[in-house]
Amino acid sequence: MFGLRKKKEIKEICSLNKETIKTISSELGIPEEKVPMIAEKLTNDEQFIDAIARKINFGVVRRALVGAMAAGAFVATASPALARMTITDQYIQLDDKKYYLPIAPYSAIVYIDGGKVKAEDWKGKIISEGEAGVDDAKVIQSALDIGGRIVLGKGEFIVNKTLLVKSYTIIEGLGWDETKLKAADGLNDKMIKNYNHGSDYVYRVVIKDLLIDGNKENQSLEIGNNVIDLRIPVDCKIENVKVINAPDSSIVIDSYYAGGLIAKSNMLINCYSYDSADYGFYILGENTTLLHCHIKGGYGFAIKGATGYNKLFGCLAKDCGHHGLYAEATESVDIIGCSFISNSRWGIALNGCSQFRIIGGEILNNNQDTSASYGGIYLYNSVRNKIIGVRVEDTQDTPTQDVGIKEGGSSDNNIIAYCTVRNNKTEQIVIVGANTIIRRNIGYLTENSGVATFSGDGSTTDFLIGDHGLAVTDPSKIVVKVTPISSDAIDASPCIGYVDPNDNAKIRVKFASAPASGTDNVKIIWEAQVV
């Protein structure tokens, strides 16, 4: 891989001059007068040049190593005799003083070299190798067993056996366009999981900058064949990972509640799931944060049995074959600025949940499976939840989102306020809870007011105000208040407002006595409110 041409390029990086000598001296902490001596030694040390070439190839050492490499061109300069010099992969020793070299910022690196897949440790020593496309998982596992920061190089690695990761390990690719893991045909198992899976905690695992293909077309679609499955993780992070074609769920954060072992304080950042056979992201734990995570296809987000303080910020579920987000027996979740668009069933469905805060974001054009009556947000047997400032709307020429926001079962004590809920197919908001509060929503008016003016005739005491404009027409749920403001209206008061018994969409006012005759001489302020 690293031939004569590479070594020649290293030796010719720069010429010896005062400025270069000064730079190398400063970078490595070596006296200027001793730099030329080291240069001559390094020029003839092929093993050292090999190690440098390998590291430069993977872009892991920058200015200091470049400076050291440049010494390869320094042989033209005369130098005084050197008493004693030792060169290792960690330091250069001149006389009795050691000058430590920069080291690779990883524990191990796995890369494809022609038809070979290789794993090297930070010193450039081969720790495992095999046939590319056949032995990839074995070689990657040898690196993971070291722990620390494991870098996966450019190319596609075929995973034919589950990769096991232990605590305090980082698995890092070079980005979606550079590093890809693909499940081998017939893997029929998880692709990445932690050691002691389900029996003990795993701490501070990081998985980042990868494209992972679950290859579901060539797997048995069995429950549990998740792509990334961390069981009882604590302080773990999955970042910039795109998962496609998962044969079950794309990413799972799970707990073992029966044993009292709970996943805690984990993060998913900028993760994507496309066309999974089941959920895109499945969360069962506490203090899990999902930031800018997107799902397209599959079964959306799932939060089940979690005991609290999970958060979703700026997430998206679109075109999912089920609900955009489904939560069951869960409490204390924040869903902030998220969008759930064109999913087959509900945009968000809560079953037996409490203390959710759904704030901002959009719930649009759901219930694409028009065989049933799904809609925007459904609260079933769910209490003490808040839906604030959310846009719940159908923007299609032919609406499919049947109901905007709906309570069902024993739901109660919820708050729905400052939302835009309109253009849904049949109804905008449906509640069953006697104590649920609905206030200040666009498209579902629960408060209205105005000024009404009448002409008294000296005998009439009851006047029609007009339409109250509220979303509700049940007289038992509407309170009407009237305040007289003209002198003739005040003189005829007290007065009361009420829903017209002959037309519940209208309201009336009745005075204690008939206002005096006149033109537009009776004025009141009216307020109508759903209670």
CA angle 366, 318, 367 (to 5 degrees): 15
Give CA–CA dist 134/367, Å, rounded: 44
pLDDT-based confidence at 14, cuts 50/70/90? very low
pLDDT reported for residue 68: 40
Domain boundary (413, 444, 475) is at 444
CATH number at residue 394: 2.160.20.10
The answer to whether residues 286 and 328 belong to one domain is no
The answer to whether residues 346 and 369 belong to one domain is yes
The answer to whether residues 148 and 285 belong to one domain is yes
pLDDT-based confidence at 31, cuts 50/70/90? confident
Give CA–CA dist 499/483, Å, rounded: 16
The answer to whether residues 282 and 321 belong to one domain is no
- Residue 87 domain boundaries: 4-100
- Residue 27 — φ and ψ, nearest 5°? -70, -40
**R_g over Cα of the chain:** 35
Question: Per the structure, how many domains does the chain have?
Answer: 4
pLDDT reported for residue 267: 98
471-530 residue pLDDT tens:
989 999 999 999 999 999 999 999 999 999 999 999 999 999 999 999 999 999 999 999
The answer to whether residues 330 and 355 belong to one domain is yes
Angle between helices 18-28 and 35-43 (to 10 degrees): 90
The answer to whether residues 240 and 337 belong to one domain is no
**At residue 452, does pLDDT exceed 60?**
yes
Domain boundary (267, 298, 329) is at 298
Domain boundary (298, 319, 341) is at 298
Displacement of CA 121 from its chain's centroid (Å): 32
CB burial of residue 451 (10 Å; 0-12, 13-18, 19+) = exposed
Mean pLDDT of 13-19: 50
AA identity, residue 66: V
The answer to whether residues 248 and 115 belong to one domain is yes
pLDDT-based confidence at 326, cuts 50/70/90? very high
250-300 residue pLDDT tens:
999 999 877 789 999 999 999 999 999 999 999 999 999 999 999 999 999
pTM: predicted TM-score of the whole model, two decimal places: 0.79
* Unique residue bearing structure tokens 């690293």: 2
Name the residue with higher pLDDT: 44 or 34. 34
The answer to whether residues 279 and 307 belong to one domain is no
The answer to whether residues 321 and 291 belong to one domain is no
pLDDT reported for residue 17: 57
The answer to whether residues 196 and 259 belong to one domain is yes
AA identity, residue 319: D
pLDDT reported for residue 7: 43
CATH number at residue 460: 2.60.40
The answer to whether residues 268 and 391 belong to one domain is no
| pLDDT, averaged across the chain | 87
Buried b vs exposed e over 12-44: b needs ≥16 C-beta within 10 Å? eebebeeebbebbbeebebeeebbbbbbbbbbe
